[in-house]
Structure 1
Amino acid sequence: MIQIAIISDIHANLIALEKVLEDIDQRGITDIYCLGDLVDFAPWGNEVIAMLQKRNIPCLLGNHDERIGFNQTIIPLAHHDEEETFQRNLAINFSKKTITAAHKTWLTQRPYQLMLSFKTDYGIKNIWLVHASPRSNDEYIYESHSGEDLIKMLPNQSVDALVMGHTHISYIKHHKNILLVNCGSVGRSKENHRQATYCILNIANDVQAEIVKLEYDIETLTKAINESEIPDFYADFFRFQPDSL
């Protein structure tokens, strides 16, 4: 059996990334792939990029990485109110100011999507990796999204699994024998407890997925955000968790 780990949406949260990589190493998994969004909302964008470079982890271009790497204009999101839009602009501009030129160049060179093909005793298994969806780097694909629509986005019907990020909410489901996975967010989970989340794929006669959720030192994270130029809004996100409201 082949095992690979897939991480996504780290958002400059080095503490969560270190916890996830430690867990992956303890499991003896050597192949790790990242679906992007390395930057914004925590103070360690450069350190996160450097760690992925040091570990030689293949990484896709997330929409946040694209904005920072290519110095794109910040476009307001329809689901954000005026206050969150203001805070978001401050946080992203912090990344634009602090991410090094070398790291910005590296971000622009990341692949947009990636097809992995694994030889097994049961034939070739194809895994399609995207940041958000096969047709857009900004599209939110939640569990309720039409499986039929997702199948139409695939490059061909030989895909055995589609793995996505972007929403920060993990799930596993099947449609017409194709495994559909959102691996969640390492550094800014929108699920209860805000745990660092990633997925493991087990590849043999079929492809199976496991979602892993880990506790980490959120107090140190929020303290670091408060002590940085990033708005306290992004520390409060972790303090006021959904299940405690």
Structure 2
Amino acid sequence: MRIALFSDIHANLPALDSFFEDLGSRNVDALYCLGDLVGYNTWPNEVVAEIRKRGIPSIAGNHDLKVKKLKQDAHLKEVDYAYHIGSDDAREYLRSLPKTIRVHFSFGDERISLLLVHGSSRSIDEYLLQDLDETYVREMLEEAGADLLFCGHTHKPYHRLIACGGKYKHVVNIGSVGKPKDGDPRGCYVIATLNEESTLADKDAVKIEFIRFDYDVEAAARAIEASPLPREFADRLRKAY
């Protein structure tokens, strides 16, 4: 089973289109989105439409939840513009998204639980940074009953192993499709491979592959510059910070 996971599109339609094009050559069996479809760019309706058209299971990101708090206002702050241009239909979809998705695999007597979150299992806004205290991360995994925890939110990809009672649990930040922050402007997503040989007893038995893909960064940056959004958002796309 090859599972693709992506996140943090942030209304960047050129990046999403290139992601789907790249994914088409990867022969995956399942696909999940870990939220933040909107914010920071000018195509929220188009992005939501593409996710819905393909029937992709998705969870809510912290930016998706902002549509619950904002109302139409003639005196918009620049930073709020990205949330107000969404259609009523797109807003309703975002309001309906779940906070987590859990998937279980059973291989012989071993059961492996995958938990998909945006920030962390404790909070949609929590940043699970790569150097977070190991004891804290282990307690969180045990509390959530998660063997593989996939998250986004930080826009910085990594794969971290956590030893838990003779087994290895995995924390995977899948990076960002539409707004990377790791100095590489290319979009990023993950393919996880599980099969009958996958076991938590072997740290190498679950394969995690990070995929980077090119997209038209300039088209996305120019769309920002032509909108009421802060021009700094365009610079962040070009330099990936």
TM-score category, normalised to shorter length: 0.7 to 0.9
Q: Which amino acid aligns with 2:69?
A: N
* Deviation (angstroms), 1:63: 0.4
1:183 and 2:174 matched:
yes
Q: Does 1:90 align with 2:78?
A: yes
Tell me the residue number matched to 2:63: 64
Q: 1:241 to 1:141 in 2, by over 3 A?
A: closer
Q: Flag structure 2 segments of 5+ consecutive residues without an equivalent.
A: 72-76, 200-205
Pair 1:241–1:155, CA change in 2 (3 A): closer
Identity of aligned residues (%): 34
Q: Is the 8 A contact 1:71 1:96 kept in 2?
A: no
In 2, Cα distance between the equivalents of 1:8 and 1:241? 15
Q: Distance in 2 between matches of 1:213 and 1:98?
A: 29
- Structure 2: how far apart are the matches of 1:136 and 1:103? 24
Aligned to 2:203: none
Distance 1:6 1:122, change over 3 A: farther
- The one-letter amino acid paired with 1:200 is I
Shift of 1:158: 5.2
Normalised by the size of structure 2, how large is the TM-score?
0.87
- Return closer, same or farther for 1:232/1:200 CA change in 2, 3 Å cut-off: same
148-157 or 46-55, larger mean C-alpha shift: 148-157
- Equivalents in 1 of 2:188, 2:19: separation in Å? 8
Shift of 1:238: 2.3
Matched residue, 2:91: 104
Question: RMSD over aligned Cα, in angstroms?
Answer: 2.0
Aligned length: 225
Gap runs ≥5 in structure 1? 74-88
Post-superposition shift, 1:72?
5.1
SS in 1 for 2:138: helix
Distance 1:199 1:55 in 2: 18
**Which residue of the partner structure matches residue 115 of structure 1?**
102
Query: How far apart, CA to CA, are the structure 1 residues paired with 2:21 and 2:109?
Result: 31
* d(CA) in 2 for partners of 1:11, 1:96: 10
Q: Would the alpha carbon gap of residues 241 and 72 (structure 1) be closer, same or farther in structure 2, given more than 3 Å must change?
A: closer
Deviations 1:112-145 (A, max 9, x none): 0111112445743211110001111111111001
* Aligned mates of 1:4, 1:144 — CA distance in 2: 26
